Amino acid sequence: MKFPLYSRVALTVDLPAEGICRGDVATIVEHHAAPAAGIEPGYSVEVFNAIGETLAVLTLPESHVEALRRDEVLSVRSLASHAA
């Protein structure tokens, strides 16, 4: 699935080194075509804190992001509670 630029997505994996958790919301900032057959395409995503400051810009395979759904609710968590 190709997400449009600047759409919001949920992450499907924990990334402890960056303090990012599965379910965190990110914004698509770039799409990366598959570099070769058999390799999945990917995205650069930007993750923000609750007040809009950038926490991380990550390049991830497409399988590490998923669409947000109507039956989901955003929530807040402390970064300190998930420190690497």
Domain count for the chain: 1
Show the domain range for 58.
8-67
pLDDT digits (tens, 9 = 90+) for 2-35: 899 999 999 999 999 999 999 999 999 999 999 8
**DSSP string over 14-70:** -BGGGTB-TT-EEEEEEEE--SSTTS--EEEEEEE-TTS-EEEEEEEEGGGEEE--T
For residue 84, is it within any domain?
A: no
- pLDDT-based confidence at residue 79 (cuts at 50, 70, 90): confident
d(C-alpha 58, C-alpha 54), whole Å: 11
Q: Which amino acid, 4?
A: P
**pTM for this model (two decimals):** 0.88
For residue 13, is it within any domain?
A: yes
